[in-house]
Amino acid sequence: MHVLDFEKPIAELEGKIEELRHLAGGDVNIADEVGRLQAKVDKLLRSTYAKLTPWQKTQVARHPERPHALDYIRALIEDFTPLAGDRCFGEDRAIVGGLGRFRGSTVMVIGNEKGSDTESRLKHNFGMAKPEGYRKARRLMEMAGRFGVPVLTLVDTAGAYPGVDAEARGQAEAIARSIEACLDIRVPLISVVIGEGGSGGAIALAAGNAVLMLEHAIYSVISPEGCASILWRSGEAAKDAAEALRLTAQDLHKLGVIDQVVPEPLGGAHRNPDLTFKTLSLAIDSALRDLAGVEGGVLRARRREKFLQMGRTGPV
C-alpha cells in the first residue's frame, strides 16, 4: 500500500507483522506477538487519524488507493448502464455517468473518475473534465429530471482541466450550465464528496439537496498548493494554505456548506473499502428517504433557497 509520510510509523509496525507472519510456521508464541503488534497499529492509527491536520487530510483525500467513483458504482449500483457523450462534441471519460439501481430503485449516477493506475488515469484524464464532460453531466441530469429519477453525484476531482482545447470549447460556460442544471432539476439530487472537491469543477456537480462528505475528503475553492503559490508566493506554504482554507469535512459542516459528514473506517477509506461502501450506502439511502415523496417543484425550490442563503445567514 502507498504510505503517506505521516503514516511511516504505522507502516513500520505493519511491516514487522508481515515479517513475523512470514517467518512463523504454526508457532503459537508468534500469534501473540502479532496480536500485540496489531493492537499497537490500531492504537497508532486511531490516534493519528483522530487528529489529522488539514494538509494530512488533503493527502488522504488524494491517496492513490482511495476508492474512486467507479469503485463506489461497482459496489453500490446494480445494473449500471453507462451513458456516453455530450451530443455536441465528444465523450469525456473524466466524468462517468449512467443509469442503474441503488437499493432496488433507479438512479442516475454521475461522478468524476480519477482512474487507479497509469492506464486508467490517462483514460480518465486524472479526473479533470473538459466542457464535454460537464455538458454530458448536464444532459444526464436533465434526462433524470424528465424521468423522475433521483440523481446521485460522486465528486472527486482536482478541478476542471486547464487547457487550450477546454477553453476554446467554453469551459466556463459548460461549468456554469452544469451548476444551473443542478439547481434546476425537479428530482432529488444527492451529492457526495468522496475524495477531492476541487473548485468550479466540483461545484458543477455538487449543488445538491443534500451534500454529503466522507470524513477525510476535502472541498475547496482552490487547491492548497495553488492558494499557497498565489498568497504566500511559495508552493511550500501548502500546509498553511490548507489550514487557512478550512477545507475539511468537519469545518465545512460547521460552516453549514455541507449537510453531513460520513465516517470512514479506521485509517481512511482505502484501508477498508467494503466498510466505506456500506457506510456510504446507508447514508445515501437515508438522504434519499428524507426526500422521497417530496414534490419536484418543492425539491427544486428548497435546493435553490438553500444555495441562495449560502453566506447570507452568517456562518459560525
Partner 1 sequence: MNWLTNYVRPKLQALVRPKEVPENLWRKCPACGHMIFHRDLEKALNVCQHCGHHLRLSVGKRLEMLFDDGKFQRIELPKTADDPLKFKDQKRYTDRLKEARAKTGEQDAVVVAHGKMGGIGIVVAAFNFDFQGGSMGVAVGEGIVTAAELAVLQDAPLIVIPASGGARMQEGILSLMQMARTTVAVERVKEKGLPYIVLLTDPTTGGVSASFAMLGDIAIAEPAAVIGFAGARVIETTIREKLPEGFQRAEYLLDKGMVDMVVPRAELRATLVRLLSLLRNRGPAGDLLTLPLDTPDAFPEDSARL
DSSP state of 7: G
Name the grid cell of 211: 451534500
- In angstroms, give the least distance from the CB of 150 to partner 1: 19
Cβ distance to partner 1 smaller for residue 1 or 310 = 310
* Contact track, partner 1, 238-257, x by CB under 8 A: --xx--xxxx----x--x-x
Residue 297 is a binding residue for partner 1 (CB under 8 A): no
Q: What are phi and psi of 76, to 5 degrees?
A: -105, -20
The pair phi, psi for residue 25, each rounded to 5°, is -125, -95
C-alpha cell at 129: 473534465
Which range touches partner 1 (CB under 8 A), out of 107-115, 225-233, 275-283, 285-293? Answer: 225-233
CB of 31 or CB of 310, closer to partner 1: 310
Nearest CA-CA partner of 157 in 107, 208, 223: 223
Exactly one of 163, 236, 282, 289 binds partner 1 (CB under 8 A); which one?
163
* Residue 263 Cβ vs partner 1, minimum distance, rounded to whole Å: 21
Contact call for residues 142 and 149 (beta carbons, < 8 A): no
Q: Which is nearer to partner 1, 33 or 180 (CB)?
A: 180
Number of residues that bind partner 1 (CB under 8 A): 54
105 beta partners:
102
DSSP 229: I
Q: Which residue stretch of 5-13, 112-120, 179-187, 275-283 sits at the interface with partner 1 (rule: CB under 8 A)?
A: 179-187
Q: Residues 6 or more apart from 61 whose CB is under 8 A from it? A: 195, 196, 216, 217, 218
- For the CB of residue 227, give the shortest distance to partner 1 in the complex, in Å: 5
Q: Is 83 in the site for partner 1 (CB under 8 A)?
A: no
User: Which candidate, 111, 6, 98, places its Cα nearest to that of 48?
Assistant: 6
Rg (CA), the chain: 21
Using CB under 8 A, list all residues that contact partner 1: 160, 162-164, 166-173, 175-177, 179-180, 182-184, 199-200, 202-204, 207, 219-222, 226-227, 230-232, 237, 240-241, 244-247, 252, 255, 257, 304, 307-312, 314-315
